[in-house]
């Protein structure tokens, strides 16, 4: 009887995960400003995607934590963190970072190493292909997830083809819309793995409990992200994704790790916030809470799994602001520079503008950052 019940629950979970596929079909997610204006290719060349993590806050100059800023290419963040731990002869858990940076990007980001009672290693001896040490600083606190001011992106989109009726003026007008209104804060394809494989990890024999720790994190994050994308897609379709409705949960988008008053790109604003499912739901009320119930209630097996696995309920802004947006267009090429807050995806910033084919995905080079 128990075995039959477990089989039934697994079937329900498989069915819901299959239905979640529409939340990770990025080209099909609704766009707020009309259809895409054309097509382009991202990451056609290795240097076409670069991101620089801007921390903003200063350093104490003393303490047990050594901060190292690296430039990396061809490696994901977790792998680099493990190499740092091995080099410094530390447990992996004593190496921290503010966020994941894509493997298929030129990325500059900070790591912190907890070296209680020890001096900094000889960083001149740290040799890793595709990785360069840029700065080393000492501080009295560890680097925590999300503790950065913003990420600065530099993208090159190639094979640009505008729809026949679109001219340069309309392209610039759409870019101005994105700069002024922001974009729906969708989780990008990175969160879900190649062909959405991270979603299906919990369907392996033994479920989420048997997954290695890293894979478990990928799976739970993918499920939460897909549910959030569904809710945000509903708000975009309704036309109120950029509004704070009566009874809606709100949060400030001030960067947690930024220096006080760091407004180089963003002045803090209050934004509407949608659910990242887990234990201890709180926040919205009235009609907004009823809408959340409708969207998330269609996935009882997935939401129950998240709660059982210990995910804590949180909220994520429905809007991602796009700061310091600059562009340059030439024959078949569009170059973009812009800033996003912690947790926002560059692919989400491109989504309202163009139908973008990511060469890292097409060539099966793509994985969770």
pLDDT digits (tens, 9 = 90+) for 247-280: 999 887 665 555 445 567 677 788 899 999 999 8
How far, in Å, CA of 76 to CA of 70, rounded? 12
Contact 53, 94 (CB under 8 A): no
Same domain, 159 and 29: yes
Give the CATH number, domain containing residue 167. Answer: 3.30.2340.10
33 and 85 co-located in one domain? no
Do both 236 and 178 map to the same domain? yes
In the listed set 105, 139, 173, which residue is the last one of a domain according to the structure?
Answer: 139
More confident residue, 168 or 254: 168
- Residue ending a domain, choose from 277, 293, 320: 320
Q: Tell me, what's the pLDDT at 194? A: 79
Q: What is the DSSP letter of 51?
A: E
The region, left, alpha or beta by phi > 0 then psi within -120 to 50, assigned to residue 159 is left
Residue 363 has pLDDT above 60, yes or no: no
Bridge-based pairing state of the strands 106-114 and 49-54: parallel
Burial 253-272 (b: 16+ CB within 10 A, else e): bbbebbeeebebbbeeeebb
Instruction: Tell me whether residue 206 is in a domain.
Output: yes
Let me know whether 135 and 167 are in one domain.
no
Same domain, 171 and 206: yes
**Does 338 reside within a domain?**
no
**Do both 23 and 70 map to the same domain?**
no
Kindly state whether residues 186 and 132 are assigned to the same domain. no
347 belongs to a structural domain: no
pLDDT at 224 over 70: yes
pTM of the model: 0.89
CATH code where residue 86 lies? 3.30.2350.20
- Per the domain annotation, does 79 fall within a domain? yes
Give 109: exposed, middle or buried? Use CB within 10 Å, 0-12, 13-18, 19+: buried
Give yes or no: residues 63 and 181 share one domain.
Answer: no
Annotation says 102 is catalytic: yes
Sheet holding 270-276, edge to edge: 250-252, 270-276, 314-317
Bridge partner residues of 247 (DSSP): none
Whether 81 and 15 share a structural domain: no
In a domain, 271, yes or no: yes
Tell me, yes or no, whether 230 lies in a domain.
yes
Is 173 found in the same domain as 92? no
Range of the domain at 170: 2-42+154-320
Catalytic residue among 48, 102, 262, 358: 102
- Do residue 160 and residue 88 come from a single domain? no
Q: Please compute the mean of the pLDDT values over residues 96-109 and round it to a whole number.
A: 91
Residue 24 lies in a domain: yes
pLDDT at 138 over 60: yes
Same domain, 235 and 293: yes
- Measuring CA to CA, which residue among 12, 9, 358, 8 is closest to residue 192? 358
Overall number of domains in the chain = 2
Q: Report whether pLDDT(3) > 80.
A: no
């Amino acid at each position: 009887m128990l075995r039959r019940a477990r089989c039934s629950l697994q079937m329900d979970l498989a069915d819901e995960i299959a239905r979640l596929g529409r939340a990770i079909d990025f080209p099909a997610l609704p766009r707020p400003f009309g259809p895409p204006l054309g097509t382009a290719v991202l990451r056609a060349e290795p240097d076409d995607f670069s991101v620089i993590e801007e921390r903003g806050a200063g350093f104490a100059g003393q303490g047990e934590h050594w901060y190292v800023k690296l430039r990396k290419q061809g490696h994901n963040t977790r792998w680099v963190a493990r190499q740092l731990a091995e080099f410094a002869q530390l447990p992996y858990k004593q190496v921290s970072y503010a966020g994941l940076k894509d493997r298929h990007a030129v990325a500059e980001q900070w790591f912190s190493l907890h070296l209680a009672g020890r001096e900094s290693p000889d960083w001149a001896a740290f040799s890793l292909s595709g990785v360069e040490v840029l700065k080393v600083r000492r501080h009295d606190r560890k680097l925590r997830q999300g503790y950065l001011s913003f990420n600065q992106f530099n993208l090159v989109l190639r094979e640009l083809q505008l729809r026949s009726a679109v001219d340069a003026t309309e392209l610039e007008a759409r870019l101005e819309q994105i700069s002024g209104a922001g974009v729906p804060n969708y989780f990008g394809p990175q969160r879900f793995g190649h062909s959405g494989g991270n979603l299906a990890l919990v369907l392996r024999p033994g479920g989420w409990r048997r997954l290695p720790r890293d894979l478990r994190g990928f799976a739970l994050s993918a499920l939460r992200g897909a549910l959030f994308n569904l809710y945000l897609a509903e708000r975009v379709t309704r036309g109120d994704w950029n509004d704070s409705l009566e009874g809606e949960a709100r949060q400030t988008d001030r960067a947690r790790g930024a220096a006080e008053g760091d407004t180089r790109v963003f002045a803090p604003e209050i934004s509407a916030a949608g659910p990242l499912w887990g234990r201890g739901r709180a926040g919205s009320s009235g009609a907004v809470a009823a809408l959340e119930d409708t969207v998330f209630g269609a996935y009882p097996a997935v939401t129950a799994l998240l709660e059982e696995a210990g995910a804590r309920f949180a909220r994520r802004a429905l809007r991602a602001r796009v700061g310091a947006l600059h562009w340059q267009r030439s024959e078949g090429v569009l170059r973009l520079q812009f800033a996003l807050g912690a947790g926002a995806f560059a692919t989400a910033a491109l989504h309202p503008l163009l139908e973008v084919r990511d060469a890292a995905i097409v060539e099966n080079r793509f994985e969770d950052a």
